[in-house]
Amino acid sequence: MECVFCKIIKGEIPSYKVYEDESVYAFLDINPVNFGHTLVIPKKHYENMEEIDKKILCDLIKVVKKIGGAIKKGLKVEGYNINLNNGSVAGQVVPHFHFHIIPRLENDGLKLWDQGEYKNGEAENVLNKIKKEL
């Protein structure tokens, strides 16, 4: 079965379109964290950061910047979160690459995540594992 975001791009499922160009489509998230919550997606189907073409990724992030500015001005918010849930373990539900732009309001109650700390040697160990794959 074809993915829901591909259907949105084809117009088979309705959406509140924010922006469109030849490679990018942006629309309001149907269940907004805050009003104006926008999804920015490639028109071509890529599942995740590993798959996506680098040029398309650049196209997307430029649109994120453009819409982020428009959200700040238009909705008179002072900031926004840009979120990418990459993989189901990271909360990705729709397997079509997408950035979330989430307008933030003072005291909107959105809590992002708890943070921990490294103990002796743990940071170096992690660092080595990541850097050898770069």
Q: Which residues are catalytic?
A: 98
Q: Which stretch binds ligand AMP (CB under 6 A): 29-37, 48-56, 102-110, 112-120?
A: 29-37
Instruction: Count CB neighbours of 6 within 10 A.
Output: 15
Q: How far apart are CA 28 and CA 42, in angstroms?
A: 15
Count the residues of the shown chain that bind Zn ion, applying the rule CB under 5 A: 5
Q: How far apart are CA 129 and CA 74, in angstroms?
A: 44
Closer of 37 and 96 to Zn ion (Cβ):
96
Q: How far apart are CA 73 and CA 66, in angstroms?
A: 11
Question: Should residue 7 be labelled a site residue for Zn ion when binding is judged by CB under 5 A?
Answer: no
Tokens 């599942």, residue? 47
CB of 95 to ligand AMP, least distance (A): 8
Q: Which stretch binds ligand AMP (CB under 6 A): 44-52, 56-64, 90-98, 104-112?
A: 90-98
CA torsion through residues 20, 23, 27, 32, sign: negative
Contacts of 17 (CB under 8 A, 6+ apart): 25, 26, 27
Question: Should residue 49 be labelled a site residue for ligand AMP when binding is judged by CB under 6 A?
Answer: no
CB of 134 to ligand AMP, least distance (A): 26
C-beta of residue 2 within 8 angstroms of C-beta of residue 10: no
Q: Which stretch binds ligand AMP (CB under 6 A): 66-74, 84-92, 117-125, 126-134?
A: 84-92
* Residue ranges that bind Zn ion, judged by CB under 5 A: 3, 5-6, 45, 96
* Residue ranges that bind ligand AMP, judged by CB under 6 A: 4, 13, 15, 29-31, 39, 85, 91-94
